[in-house]
Amino acid sequence: MLAKKVANIGFEAVVMVDRRPFGIDALASYPVFPPEFVDFLRRVMPADRHDELVRSVVVLARKPEDTGGAHAG
């Protein structure tokens, strides 16, 4: 999960403050996705996934005051 990845990089006070289902209808409102791709998703994704293909989340974190050594990416 994203929060774990953020913590592993060396952030602290990692919290997820928002999480929402993100389905095909939501995705269709973004102009970076062509209509053919949206139709393709409706065909290949099971109907019970149409309302939640993925989730949108907001993660907050803080860089520690004492950063010590550098973290590699």
Partner 1 sequence: MAYFTVDQARSIIRDAYTAAAADIPAVASGLYAADELAGLPEGAVSLALGVGHPVRHARLRSGEVVLDVGCGAGIDTLLAARAVSPGGRVIGLDMTPAMVERTRRHAAEAGLDNVEVRKGLMEALPLADASVDVVVSNGVLNLSTRKSRALAEMRRVLRAGGRLALADLVVTQALPEEVLRSAPALAG
By CB under 8 A, name the binding residues for partner 1: 1-2, 5-6, 8-11, 17-18, 20, 22, 26-27, 29-34, 37, 40-41, 44-45, 49, 52-67, 70-73
Residue where the block lists tokens 């005051």: 65
Taking the complex as a whole, the smallest distance from the CB of residue 30 to partner 1 amounts, in Å, to 6
Give the nearest distance from C-beta 7 to partner 1 in angstroms: 10
Q: Of 27 and 47, which has the nearer Cβ to partner 1? A: 27
The candidate with the shortest Cα–Cα distance to 2, out of 57, 64, 44, 69, is 57
Taking a C-beta distance cutoff of 8 angstroms, is the pair 2, 31 a contact? no
d(CA 40, CA 70): 44
